[in-house]
């Protein structure tokens, strides 16, 4: 059986992805409607993809874990917005 698993991307490339998501999450309260244009599942998948696709160093792993924790905290608020009548993702 062949191993078809793709090698992980370089550690340095993960910083750009993490920085973008950190910026998105930090402005969450001010931009909740803009943030929820994509469903919660999108943000969860995006964070998981970083973990799978990149060879993360310890500091990046911690940043990713913090983003996951923040998303879990925000999840109920995001769900409330997504459940509003007339909200379209």
What's the rounded Cα separation, in Å, for the pair 41 and 69?
14
Contact of 71 with 25, CB cutoff 8 Å: yes
pLDDT(1) > 60: no
Tokens of 48: 């998981």
Q: Where are the beta strands (DSSP E) in 1-89?
A: none
User: Average pLDDT of the chain?
Assistant: 81
In this prediction the pTM is: 0.65
Q: What is the mean pLDDT of residues 64-69?
A: 93
CA end-to-end distance (rounded Å), the chain? 42
pLDDT digit string (tens) for 39-65? 778 888 999 999 999 999 999 999 999
Q: How confident is the model at residue 88 (pLDDT cuts 50, 70, 90)?
A: low
């Amino acid at each position: 059986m062949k191993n078809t698993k793709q090698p992980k991307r370089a550690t340095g490339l993960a910083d750009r992805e993490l920085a973008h998501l950190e910026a998105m999450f930090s402005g969450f309260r001010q931009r909740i409607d803009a943030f929820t244009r994509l469903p919660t599942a999108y943000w969860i998948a995006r964070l998981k993809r970083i973990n799978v696709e990149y060879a993360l160093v310890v500091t990046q792993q911690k940043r990713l874990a913090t983003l996951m924790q923040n998303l879990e905290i925000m999840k109920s608020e995001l769900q409330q917005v997504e459940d509003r009548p007339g909200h379209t993702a």
